[in-house]
Amino acid sequence: MPGSPAHKWAFAPRFRRHAFGWRSQPAVQRVKEATAEILKVAKKDPALGAAGGVLFLERVSPALDQVDSSSGAIGTAVNHAIEASQGTTFLSTFRSVAKKYPMKPAAKILDDLVASTPGQEGKWFAAAKDAGLYDEAMALATRTPCDPRTLTRATRDFASTNPRFAVEAGMAALHWIAAGYGYEITGLDVRSAYSRTLQAAKNCNAVDEVERRVRELLTAPESPAKDFVAKVLGRTTDMK
């Protein structure tokens, strides 16, 4: 459990209520350190990592309550940390269920977990990815809306080691952005998704394919935000 004396989390005493006052830079650094600590532990012990993630989520808001967020740096750091921390929790849950039902296909387990937690598709995508279930992760990201930023990060992380998966994750990110999904999506999100997808495509000789699929995306009638995507990328939406 998060409060168990069996493991001493280095980040825990640093996240006291109003621990950082208004200063954003020390807060950003501590958030990054907490994330690194949780992920390091999770690699060896997913359940313990999940407990650390829960502890972080309990303490982060009170600790940062007074921090100046005008630069956006603390928000970015916290969002990344929350996703990483929750990812260990979701991955631990997935593995626990898989262990309990060893004869049940991984894809079916994933479907059941997604159905039982509406709105958490992006977290289950990350859990499947971290478990090495790349086909299942992409099947989920293709059929249900996943956070475009989560998909873009997967594209970045796998551009070299698994470029085909990275390409599909990046195209899914662009698809959901064009479909109008994602919280406060900006032009930077669009450019990042596109550039990282293109980089992954170069690593698996799929540049022409990606360009073709982007053109198709920008002419798809079911993509209400395609004009926004096209404008950011400097494209036109009437391409043939």
Residue 10 has pLDDT above 70, yes or no: yes
Q: Percent of the chain having pLDDT more than 90?
A: 42
pLDDT digits (tens, 9 = 90+) for 85-140: 666 677 777 777 788 788 888 888 888 888 877 777 888 898 899 889 999 999 99
As a residue count, the chain comes to 240
The stretches of the chain forming alpha helices (DSSP H) are: 24-44, 46-63, 73-100, 106-116, 121-130, 134-143, 148-158, 163-178, 187-202, 207-217, 226-233
At position 199, the amino acid (one-letter code) is Q
Asked if pLDDT for residue 84 goes beyond 80, the answer is no
pLDDT at position 93: 72
At 199 the pLDDT is 97
Residue 240 — very low, low, confident or very high, per pLDDT cuts 50/70/90? very low
Predicted local distance difference test score (pLDDT) of residue 88: 67
Residue pLDDT, tens place only, 153-192: 999 999 999 999 999 999 999 999 999 998 889 999 999 9
Q: Which of 214, 213, 215 minimizes the C-alpha distance to 238? A: 215
Instruction: Round to whole Å and give the CA distance between 129 and 137.
Output: 6
Lowest mean pLDDT among 54-58, 165-169, 193-197: 54-58
- The span from the CA of 3 to the CA of 92, in Å, is 18
State the greatest distance between any 2 C-alpha atoms of the chain, in Å, as a whole number: 63
